[in-house]
Structure formats: structure tokens, C-alpha cells
Amino acid sequence: MTGRAAARRYALLSFLLWLPAGLYLVPLVLLTLDRGLPVSTIAVVGVVYGLTIAILELPTGGLADVLGRRPVLIASAVAGAAGLLLLGLAETVALFLASAVLRGVARALSTGPLEAWYVDTVHAELGREADLTPGLARGEVAASLALGAGTLVGGLLPLVLGGVGGLPALAVPVLLAAGAEVLRALLTIRLPEPPHPRPALAAVLRGVPATVAAGLRVAGRDRALTRVLLAAAGAGVALGTIELLTPAWLAGLSSGPRAAATYAVVAAAGFGADAIGGMLAVAAVRHLGSHARAATAGWSVSALALAGLAGCALLSGTAATVLAGVAYCVLFIGLGAGFPAQAHLLHERVEPGERATVLSVQSLLMQAVGAVVMSVIGWQATHRGIEVGYAIAAVALLASAGLFLRLRAAPRIAAKAPARAATTHG
């Protein structure tokens, strides 16, 4: 497969990977409330989902490096379809918990393999010196458009159609999300992958821990890679802050049945802004002269936008709302423009046999750092105001932008993964 064809396939599968998340983002809590679950139980279901991802994040990344990208991606789609089907039809706590576990498994399995497949394909055709930014940016745009479109459909469809075939209105977008996962599985079956030996189950079980250990060693040994990973964690704090504080901001603007539609429109605007940022990523690298400078600029713009949101929270009236909306969109434009450059900096320092594992390390680091910092931001926002939470996130993101300073292109390839992982990766 050529690099251009790989970029097109990567964008398509990125769209289908994130479309289900957008479709059930808005109905998730409302549906569980409609089925009679109290808020405390819904929180437990959310914790189970998060713990499942955290426990499986690194092992599933290692599995993709040992067994191959395609089978892991197919497994993630199948688990996602099953989990969403349960979510749409569940009426008991046990079924909601089972859905959370399946969706967590799907999320963990999908972290890394698709991006790793694209990078491996481009490197196989053009060599390690190939610029990954255009294809990665295309995937960023596709994912953002999927989330934006899915969020709008998931939030507005229940209001437009109501129930379908005896199903409650809120279950319709969830079951559509399950169908999207089935489509992703079918398209992934034919995903071309470089031939590699099919290891026996025992070999897989031995190879996964070795590959995970290698990925962790590389992430800790290469200081430049560590800086890139920590910078991604800073972006995770910014995104977590938006998810935590923005609903509180919107609570004063709308209430009742239209609250879901309002949140859907605002979230979709953010995803659309992220897509615009992804479209600007290649130009940012070209005009600024390096991927490190492009990532620094993107993170810095987003940090200033967060500071702007903090200022808007001190104001009131229509003008404050409009300014907050502008800052919200600028935040996502900066992150959308910076993420492809950050990803290029990561991949040029990683071997194919450990690529998916290091991506899982990045995802786990974003979640872990985000959880710690978000607990502080949440406490501060509750006791001192939303503007304080936004301000803390702005400082954290600006500090992470500084990690890209003086970061040069990789002078050498990162240490090699274990021999078995290198010979069995996709």
C-alpha cells in the first residue's frame, strides 16, 4: 500500500473509530438515569470503565506489537459493538457494568494499533525519514469530524425522532454507535498488513510482557521521548479540564430537556475547531521550521485560550458567553494543530516493535497525570470558582509547551525491542 493510500485508509478508520464515542457521548448519562440508576451507581459504572482501560492499556499495546495491528483492531471493534449493544438495551446494574467492561476493553485495544499501522506502512515505503505529519493530521481531522458529527447526531436525534421500534429515544444513537463498530470491524478485516509469523498462544503470552517492558524502558531511557510523553500529559490535563468544567459553565445557560442538545452543539463546535487545527498542522510545521516549534506554538495558543476562559468566567452577560465560546474554539484549534507534530516527534524515536506499546504508555500517562491534576482542579473550582480551575490548567499546559523547547529531530533510532517482538509485529 502506498503512503497516500495508507493515509486515506487511516483517516477512514480513524473516523469510524471515534464516531461511536461521539454518538453515545451525550445520551450516556441521560440513558442510565432514564433506566432508573441513581447518580452514585452511574459513577461506579464510570469507575469500572476507567479501571478496565487503565489495567489493560499496556498489555493490549504490547499485544498489538507482538500479534499484529489488524487482529487487535478487529477485537476492539467487536468488543465495542457488544458493549454498546448492551448499553442500549440494558435495564439492570449488572448489564450496565458488563457494558462498561466491554467498552473499556475496546478502548484499551484501540489505543495505538491504528496509528502504529499507519506509521509502519509509511516507513516501509518511504523510510524512517518520511514526514508523518500530513497523514497524522488527516487522521486528527477525521477523528474530530467524527466526534463532532456523532455528538450532534447523538444529542439531537432523540429530540427529532423520538423512540424507534419500541426503543426509547436515548437508546437510538447508542445502537447506531454499535452499528458503526460493526462496520469498522468489517473494513479492518481487509486491512493490508506486512506478513509476519503467527505465534502460538504461549509465544504471545511470553512476548507481550517483554514488549511492554521494552516500551517502558525506552520511554524512561530516552529523555527526549520522555519530554514528548509528558507534554502529551499536559494536553490531557487541558482536555480533562474542559470536560469537567464546561458542563458547569453550560448549566447556567440551559436546563431541562434541551440541556443535552445544548451540550451537543458546544461539544461539536470544539471538535470542529480541532479539525480546523488539524488542517493547519502541516502549514504550521512548514512555516515554523520544525515539528518541535509547531507543537510549542499549538500548546501555547491553547494555554492562552484557557487563560481567556478563566477571564470570561469572571464576567457575565452575552459578551462573556461569546468570548468564552471563541476561547473554547481557539483552545481546540491549538491542540489540533499541535498534536500531529507531537506525534511525529514521538514516532521518530520509537522502533516498530514497540510503537503501539509506547502509544499505550502515552495514553496511560495522560490518564494518570490527568486524574491527579484534575482532582486538584476540581477541588479548587468547587471552593474558589471555575476561573481558578481554568487558570491552573492554563499554567500546566504552558509548562508542558516548554518541554518542546530545544527539542531536536532524533539523531538516532531508539533502542530496539526484544527480538521476538521485532519479528512478530505488524
**Range of weakest confidence among 179-188, 323-332, 374-383:** 374-383
CA–CA separation, 166 and 372 (whole Å): 43
Q: How far is CA 79 from the centre of its chain?
A: 18
Helices 39-67 and 201-221 cross at an angle (nearest 10°) of 100
CA dihedral sign, ordered 219, 220, 221, 222: positive
Note the Cα 414 to chain centre separation in Å: 25
- Mean per-residue pLDDT, 233-245: 82
Tell me if 261 is assigned to some domain. yes
Q: Evaluate whether residue 282 is within a structural domain.
A: yes
In this prediction, residues 220-225 reach a mean pLDDT of 80
User: Which three-class secondary structure state does DSSP give residue 99?
Assistant: helix
Residue 274 is assigned to a structural domain of this protein? yes
Asked if residue 415 is part of any domain, the answer here is no
Give the residue among 16, 156, 37 at the shortest CA–CA distance from 80. 16
More confident residue, 111 or 84: 84
Most confident of 41-45, 315-319, 323-327, 380-384: 323-327
Sign of CA dihedral 127, 131, 133, 139: negative
Is residue 412 situated within a structural domain?
no
Nearest to 342 by CA among 145, 140, 207, 123: 140
pLDDT exceeds cutoff 80 at 282: yes
C-alpha cell at 330: 481557539
Residue 227 has pLDDT above 80, yes or no: yes
Nearest to 15 by CA among 153, 155, 145, 190: 145
State how far the Cα of 21 lies from the Cα of 295, in Å rounded to an integer. Answer: 26
The confidence score (pLDDT) of residue 195 equals 59
Phi and psi for 19 in degrees, rounded to 5?
A: -60, -45
Q: Which DSSP category does 36 fall into? A: T
| HSE of 152, CA atoms in CB hemisphere, 13 A | 11
- Residue-wise pLDDT for 58-73, tens only, equals 788 778 888 888 999 9
Tens digit of pLDDT for each residue in 190-205? 888 865 555 666 666 6
Confidence of residue 248 (pLDDT cuts 50, 70, 90): low
- Nearest CA among 128, 117, 134, 110 for reference residue 1: 117
Provide the number of structural domains found in the chain: 1
Domain membership of residue 160 as a residue range: 3-403
Of 305, 294, 306, 302, which Cα lies nearest the Cα of 340? 294
391, 392, 397, 403 alpha-carbon torsion, rounded to 10°: 130
Cβ–Cβ < 8 Å for 27, 173:
yes
Yes or no: say if 324 and 249 are a contact pair by the CB < 8 Å rule: yes
* pLDDT value at residue 39: 65
Q: Report residue 55 as a C-alpha cell.
A: 489495567
Distance, in Å, from the CA atom of 363 to the CA atom of 57, rounded to the nearest integer, reads 8
Say what the pLDDT of residue 240 is.
79
Q: What is the CATH number of the domain that holds 102?
A: 1.20.1250.20
pLDDT at 178 > cutoff 60: yes
Do residues 149 and 161 touch, judged by C-beta distance below 8 A?
Answer: no
In a domain, 389, yes or no: yes
Residue 164 in 3-state DSSP? strand
**What is the number of alpha carbons within 13 Å of residue 116 lying toward its C-beta?**
32
Torsion, Cα 393 395 400 403, to 10 degrees, reads 180
Least-confidence region, from 45-49, 169-173, 223-227, 280-284? 45-49
Residue 60 lies in a domain: yes
- What 172-177 contacts at long range (C-beta under 8 Å, 24+ apart), as own/partner pairs, is 173/23, 173/24, 173/26, 173/27, 174/23, 174/24, 174/27, 174/28, 174/31, 174/84, 174/87, 174/88, 175/84, 175/85, 175/88, 176/23, 177/19, 177/20, 177/21, 177/23, 177/24, 177/84, 177/150
Residue 411, domain member (yes or no): no
Mean per-residue pLDDT over the chain, rounded: 82
Percent of the chain with pLDDT over 70: 83
